[in-house]
A and B are shown apart, each in its own frame.
Chain A
Amino acid sequence: METEIKEPVIVIKDLVKAFGDKKVLDGFNLTVEKGSNVVILGKSGSGKSVLIKCIIGLLQSDSGSILVFKGNISQMNEDELDQARSKIGFLFQSNALYDSMTIRENLEFPLLRHWVDITKEEVERLVNEALENVDLLHTMDMMPSELSGGMLKRVALARTMILRPEVILYDEPTTGLDPVTSREIENLILKLQKKNHSSSIIISHDMNCVKNTADLVVLLLEGKCYTKGTYEELKQSTDENIKQFFE
């Protein structure tokens, strides 16, 4: 039987990140292949968010390498990082929408910064398309404070997708949402991923989200990749450290 070899988009090798004496990541390794969804599972405070912040260059790792499209994030200068970030989307746990701007302005903002020569008509078209994708076209001229938690998450997702990133990092995309809205967000993640052929790393505690979105589940324990496998493989495990997440 032939196995399809997919191109790796993110390769993390021996990543170490400490805060004071506490090593949050201690030799973490991971490869994300093109088109796949990798879910990072771990307890609160285990360093999941630190990991994706290192990937996007919001935090500087102490040692090890993070290769994103073959460029080492830890060794890039600011301009190179900006260039790399244009291919990476990041959905914040808190949504991080600019609360002084309307929804339209929130979506236009990254577009106008990244694509300096873009026309007004093109901006309008892309904003409309992004909001249509998340069924929130009617909120275009509303302020973020006027929207519900689920709507905010969908707008944040639309903003993340508007630059058509090739890799998307999700920081707990369903935390704080009710089960129905969580399901909607999971479906949107999958729908938009299919549409844009992107790869993603999803940080989550929500086992429904893990089950529905993961091609590969990685358990982060004591700063290392403790184990990895499909959802079903890990669910069958008798290891106490793995079992506790599925009970």
Chain B
Amino acid sequence: MSLVIRFKNFLDETGNIARFTARFFSVGIKPRYENKELFNQCYIIGYRSLPLVGLTAFIMGLVLTMQLRPSLVDYGVESQLPVMVGLAIVREIGPVITALIFAGKIGSSIGAELGSMKVTEQIDAMTVSGIKPFKYLVATRVLATTLMLPLLTILGDAISLFGAYLGVNIRSVTSFDLFFLQVFKSLDFSDVLPAIIKTLFFGFAVGIVGCYKGFNSTKGTQGVGISANSAVVLSSVMIFIIDLLAVQITELMGLN
């Protein structure tokens, strides 16, 4: 495929995602609200992602601490380990890693679920029954991902810090109280708030991309696989782009 065609396809895709997003704001958030389905999706997306997010957050905190320690020992600032780990987890690593895990688990599952509904005509069946599939399937999932990712990130950060506490105690002895006192003393609202706000955008991106890919799935079962896969890839890229923008904005606002 020539570079020109690829570029044209890229622009087409970008335009289509923008239209899909605009449709979410114009159709998806108007009444009648699908509250039951929204709570159901919050349960599926939030609660059922918790074990995976918790496990990866725990390992991340533990490994990060173990990897950072030798460098800090070299500079004679081992005592700053809780501060370093706390800042890294809360400001950057926690939100981004949680969002990436979330994109892998939820983005792919939304892409595959809606894709399979599309190719088996279940979405058409909803339409002919007078049900608005965009409102029922897309709006609820996008809202659920947007609301659940910040909560998962807060829980993930807490579990990650606990992992870091255990990591600190592998080679030395630090009390639970002292470790968390050091961590919280080093954190400001300007560290926590932007990090949580950006996860709202990460969640929105994962939901929109997953739904867009699933809703526009074609080519039968092969298309479902492609939808799931491209939902993960695109939402992961979107997470990094949003993160980059968030860092620039917080810097411009003097919050860094």
* Interface of A toward B, CB cutoff 8 Å: 53, 56, 58, 78, 82, 85-86, 88, 90, 92-94, 96-100, 109-110, 113-114, 163
Contact = CB atoms under 8 A, between A and B. Distances in A.
B226 to A, nearest CB: 20
B118 to A, nearest CB: 11
B125 A96 contact: yes
A110 B121 contact: no
Contact of B130 (A53, A85, A96): A85
A5 to B, nearest CB: 30
B129 A114 contact: yes
B128 interface: yes
B127 interface: yes
Nearest to B123: A96
Interface of B: 113, 116-117, 120-122, 124-125, 127-132
Given A58-B124, A92-B124, 7 more contacts: A85-B128, A94-B120, A96-B120, A96-B124, A110-B131, A114-B129, A114-B130
Contact of B128 (A58, A93, A99, A100): A58
B129 A85 contact: yes
Instruction: Report the 5 A-B pairs with minimum CB-CB distance, sorted nearest first.
Output: A96-B125, A110-B129, A96-B121, A82-B130, A90-B128
Contact of A96 (B113, B122, B132): B122
Contacts of A98: 117, 122, 125
A78 B129 CA distance: 13
Contacts of A109: 129, 131
A93 B120 CA distance: 10
Contact of B131 (A56, A93, A113): A113
A19 B235 CA distance: 32
B73 to A, nearest CB: 53
Q: Is the interface of B mostly helix, strand, loop or mixed?
A: helix
29 contacts: A78-B132, A85-B127, A85-B130, A88-B128, A90-B125, A92-B121, A92-B124, A92-B125, A94-B120, A94-B121, A96-B120, A96-B121, A96-B122, A96-B124, A97-B125, A98-B117, A98-B122, A98-B125, A99-B116, A99-B120, A99-B122, A109-B131, A110-B131, A113-B129, A113-B130, A113-B131, A114-B129, A114-B130, A163-B129
A138 B54 CA distance: 42
Nearest to A171: B121
A170 B127 CA distance: 16
B217 to A, nearest CB: 15
A58 B125 CA distance: 10
B128 to A, nearest CB: 4
A208 to B, nearest CB: 25
Contacts of B121: 92-94, 96
Contacts of A110: 129-131
Nearest to B121: A96
Contacts of A90: 125, 128
B120 A56 contact: no
B129 to A, nearest CB: 4
A100 B122 CA distance: 11
Contacts of A114: 129-130
A100 B121 CA distance: 14
B216 to A, nearest CB: 15
A86 B127 CA distance: 11
A35 B32 CA distance: 35
A7 B87 CA distance: 76
B129 A58 contact: no
Contacts of B131: 109-110, 113
A98 to B, nearest CB: 6
Nearest to A84: B130
A93 B117 CA distance: 14
A92 B128 CA distance: 10
Contacts of A96: 120-122, 124-125
A64 B111 CA distance: 36
A85 B120 CA distance: 20
A39 B125 CA distance: 21
A120 to B, nearest CB: 15
Nearest to B119: A94
B143 to A, nearest CB: 19
Nearest to A78: B132
A91 to B, nearest CB: 10
Q: Which of A53, A82, A88 has the most CB atoms of chain B within a 10 A radius of its CB?
A: A82
Contacts of A58: 124, 127-128
Contacts of A88: 128
A101 B104 CA distance: 25
Contacts of B116: 99
A53 B116 CA distance: 20
